[in-house]
Amino acid sequence: AAMQEEDELVLEAARKAIPKLSFEQHKGQAGRIGVVGGSEEYTGAPYFAAISAMKAGADLAHVFCTKSASPVIKSYSPELIVHPLLDAPKALDLINEWLPRLHAVVIGPGLGRVDSILSTVKDIILALKQNETPVVIDADGLFLITKEPSIIHGYTRGILTPNIIEFRRLSKALVALSQALGGVTIVRKGIIIDQRHLVLSLPVATMNEAGSPRRCGGQGDLLSGVMALFSFWTHNSAGAVPPTLLAGYAACLLTKRCAAQAYRKSGRSTTTTDLVAEINSVFSNTFEQKPK
- Encode pLDDT of 145-168 as tens digits: 888 888 887 788 888 887 767 666
Task: Give the residue among 35, 15, 1, 50 at the shortest CA–CA distance from 286.
Answer: 15
With cut-offs at 50, 70 and 90, classify the pLDDT of residue 244.
confident
pLDDT at 191: 52
Say if residues 70 and 135 touch (Cβ distance below 8 Å): no
pLDDT at 205: 32
Is 95 part of any known ligand binding site?
no
pLDDT at 177: 53
pLDDT at 54: 98
With cut-offs at 50, 70 and 90, classify the pLDDT of residue 84.
very high
Q: For residue 2, what are the contacts with CB-CB under 8 A and spacing of at least 6?
A: none
HEC letters along 10-63: HHHHHHHHCCCCCCCCCCCCCCEEEEECCCCCCCHHHHHHHHHHHHCCCCEEEE
What gap in Å lies between CA 88 and CA 255, rounded to an integer? 34
What gap in Å lies between CA 62 and CA 46, rounded to an integer? 10
Domain parsing of the chain, residue ranges: 30-188+210-287
Is 193 part of any known ligand binding site?
yes
Is 196 part of any known ligand binding site?
no
Burial of 291 (0-12, 13-18, 19+ CB in 10 A): exposed
Q: What letters, b where the CB count within 10 A reaches 16 and e where it falls short, cover 110-144?
A: bbbebeebbebbbebbebbbeeebbbbbbbbbbbb
- Encode pLDDT of 248-286 as tens digits: 889 989 999 999 999 999 999 999 999 999 999 999 999
Q: How far is CA 239 from the centre of its chain?
A: 21
Flag whether pLDDT at 187 surpasses 60: no
Is 218 part of any known ligand binding site?
yes
Is 165 part of any known ligand binding site?
yes
Is 211 part of any known ligand binding site?
yes
Multiple choice CATH, 30-188+210-287, 3.40.640.10, 3.40.1190.20, 1.10.540.10, 3.40.800.10: 3.40.1190.20
Average pLDDT, the chain: 86
Flag whether pLDDT at 203 surpasses 50: no
Q: Which amino acid is at 283?
A: F
pLDDT at 156: 83
User: What share of the chain in percent tops pLDDT 70?
Assistant: 82
Is 182 part of any known ligand binding site?
no
Is 169 part of any known ligand binding site?
yes
pLDDT at 170: 64
Is 145 part of any known ligand binding site?
no
Q: Which amino acid is at 37?
A: G
User: CA quadruple 145, 149, 151, 154: dihedral positive or negative?
Assistant: positive
Is 89 part of any known ligand binding site?
no
Is 110 part of any known ligand binding site?
yes
